[in-house]
């Protein structure tokens, strides 16, 4: 990675780079290209009865960021993030049906008797591309835009304990809708910020016939 960054940065690299991850910056800071610029963590608020009483969250790492600032304080940034989302529940188990779509079932229907502990989760790995109009004033910044997601891998899990016996089931290669989209807003100061994302019902991460996955995300982002 260091060798790649050095090769990219040779011609046209500004002499006053502030951070090592900035591999290209034009003379007037109109254009900037960064590698591994930030990472974030967010909490999902899922609007569905299938998800109750357990944390659903995401982690993401920004692997590339392109910025265009034709006006000193106002510009457009396009990012490329790798993201892992976990949607979890204490009340439902998640499994793959015959069409490999993620389904939810209450533990009371799945396993007769009393369970000591139980939880289910649906996991999604995706590549996200946020496109944000951003305003900067010194170290303060605020922005808003859209995010497109390429949903690549999905998994359904559940586990429970009954009569000192633990059962775990994990099924991979879930059927996902390849593309989904949402809205994003971000606000921060210096290297720390907060972000909000919303994926509307019209943006389907999971195909028709799967469980409902309509959610919002509130989280933190840290620049390297």
Q: pLDDT tens-digit profile of 191-208?
A: 999 999 999 877 888 998
16-61 pLDDT per residue, tens: 444 456 767 776 778 989 998 899 999 998 887 777 656 899 999 9
pLDDT on residue 162: 83
CA distance 33 to 79: 10
The SS3 assignment for 97 reads coil
Global pTM reads 0.82
In the predicted model, residues of the chain with pLDDT beneath 70 are: 1-21, 23, 27, 52-54, 114
pLDDT on residue 54: 67
pLDDT on residue 52: 65
Helix (H) / strand (E) element for 134: namely strand 117-137
Residue 125: which residues within 8 A CB-CB, separation 6 or more? 82, 83, 84, 85, 151, 152, 153, 154
pLDDT on residue 1: 36
Angle 42-43-45 (CA atoms, 0-180°, nearest 5)? Answer: 135
* Closest-CA residue to 99 (of 171, 200, 179): 171
CA 131 to chain centre: 14
pLDDT on residue 51: 73
pLDDT on residue 53: 57
Which pair of structure tokens corresponds to residue 134? Answer: 């951003």
Query: Which residue matches tokens 């007037």?
Result: 28
Q: Return the CA Rg of the chain.
A: 21
């Amino acid at each position: 990675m260091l060798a790649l960054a050095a090769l990219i940065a040779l011609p046209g690299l500004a002499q006053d780079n502030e951070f090592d991850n900035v591999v290209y910056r034009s003379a007037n800071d109109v254009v900037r290209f960064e590698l591994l610029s930030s990472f974030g963590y967010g909490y999902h608020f899922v609007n569905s009865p299938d998800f109750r009483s357990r944390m659903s969250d995401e982690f993401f790492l920004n692997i590339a960021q392109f910025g265009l600032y034709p006006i000193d304080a106002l510009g457009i940034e396009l990012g490329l993030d790798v993201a892992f989302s976990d949607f979890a529940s204490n009340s439902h188990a998640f499994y793959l049906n015959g069409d490999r779509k993620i389904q939810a079932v209450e533990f009371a229907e799945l396993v007769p008797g009393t369970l000591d502990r139980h939880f289910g989760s649906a996991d999604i790995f995706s590549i996200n591309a946020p496109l944000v109009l951003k305003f900067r004033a010194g170290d303060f910044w605020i922005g808003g835009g859209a995010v497109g997601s390429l949903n690549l891998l999905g998994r359904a899990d559940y586990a429970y304990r009954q009569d000192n016996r633990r059962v775990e089931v994990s099924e991979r290669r879930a059927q996902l809708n390849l593309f989904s989209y949402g809205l994003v807003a971000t606000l921060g100061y210096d290297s720390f910020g907060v972000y909000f994302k919303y994926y509307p019902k019209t943006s389907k991460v999971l195909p028709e016939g799967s469980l409902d996955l309509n959610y919002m995300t509130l989280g933190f982002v840290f620049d390297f």
